[in-house]
Amino acid sequence: MKNKIVQGFVLLLLANGGTAQVPVREEPRHKVALQNEYIRLLDVRVPPGDTSLFHIHQIPSFFIPLSTTRIGSEVQGQAARQTRFPIDSTWYNGFENGPLIHRVWNSDTSVLHVIDLELLAKKNSMLPNTIHMPFKIDFENEKLRVYKSQVQAGQVVALPLIKTPMLLVAVDGGDLDLQDLDQKKSIDLKPGSFVWIAAQQHVQMSNRGNMSNRSILILLK
């Protein structure tokens, strides 16, 4: 009798595990790589053939694919579907209609790599309407302003001094040398990596390689 009770308890755990829902920050393939008062940056990596747990998105988020991996996804209660994101695509979801509960899997032979940027700040900042940025605005709402940049081989681009922080994500191409001109130090920013730029930090982007670099610059509000 005792063995049957134990077996039943194990089966119940397995059944619940198949449909378990966790906050996205607790899903094992979504690693919290950076968190502050403005953002929680989840560095998402799903190996080939692997499937995430069902997880819950409910904080307004900006998504940046860093691979062209073919993936499957299943929103809870809906049919599964297959897709592939262009590497230069981005999108915002405020989840105004309620949380998204889904799971994703890697149907390809390379690692699925995505940045899920949760936007935590609830108040407006001092971000001016006009900034003399060397790139065009690609997306903007009440929480962020996004620029897509392309720095050619040998080019040096100075970023303006502003009163709000920025996040720079290198997407593809050659490495970027991000120089802090005040502290006299530099960071080698490889494709797929990112760096937080503090408010009023005096920096410039240098492409010392032989191929252009595409990056995404996010200004927080």
CATH number at residue 54: 2.60.120.10
**Structural domain count of the chain:** 2
Direct distance between the N- and C-terminal alpha carbons of the chain, in angstroms, rounded to an integer: 61
Can you tell me the distance from the alpha carbon of 15 to that of 52, in angstroms, rounded to the nearest whole number? 16
- Domain end marker among 92, 119, 146: 119
Whether 132 is in a domain gets the answer no
Q: Please tell me the predicted confidence (pLDDT) of residue 41.
A: 98
Task: Tell me the DSSP string of the chain.
Answer: -HHHHHHHHHHHHHHHHHT-EEEGGGSTTEEEEEE-SSEEEEEEEE-TT-BPPEEEE-S-EEEEE-S--EEEEEETTS--EEEE--TT--EEE--TT--EEEEEEE-SSS-EEEEEEEE---S-----S----SS-EEEE-SSEEEEEEEE-TT-EEEPPP-SS-EEEEEEEES-EEEEETTTTEEEEE-TT-EEEE-TT--EEEE--SSS-EEEEEEEE-
Instruction: Tell whether 114 and 141 lie within a shared domain.
Output: no
| pLDDT tens-digit series, residues 139-166 | 999 999 999 999 999 999 999 998 889 9
Global pTM reads: 0.88
pLDDT at 10 over 50: no
> Alpha-carbon dihedral of residues 40, 45, 49, 50, nearest 10 degrees?
-40
Whether 161 is in a domain gets the answer yes
Instruction: Tell whether 96 and 182 lie within a shared domain.
Output: no
Whether 8 is in a domain gets the answer no
pLDDT at 4 over 90: no
Whether 125 is in a domain gets the answer no
Instruction: Tell whether 25 and 114 lie within a shared domain.
Output: yes
| 58 against 183, higher pLDDT | 58
Instruction: Tell whether 160 and 187 lie within a shared domain.
Output: yes
Instruction: Tell whether 63 and 99 lie within a shared domain.
Output: yes
> 97: domain range?
19-119
Instruction: Tell whether 89 and 152 lie within a shared domain.
Output: no
Q: Please tell me the predicted confidence (pLDDT) of residue 13.
A: 35
Instruction: Tell whether 85 and 176 lie within a shared domain.
Output: no
Instruction: Tell whether 92 and 159 lie within a shared domain.
Output: no
- Say if residues 216 and 173 touch (Cβ distance below 8 Å): no
In whole angstroms, what separates CA 39 from the centre of its chain? 10
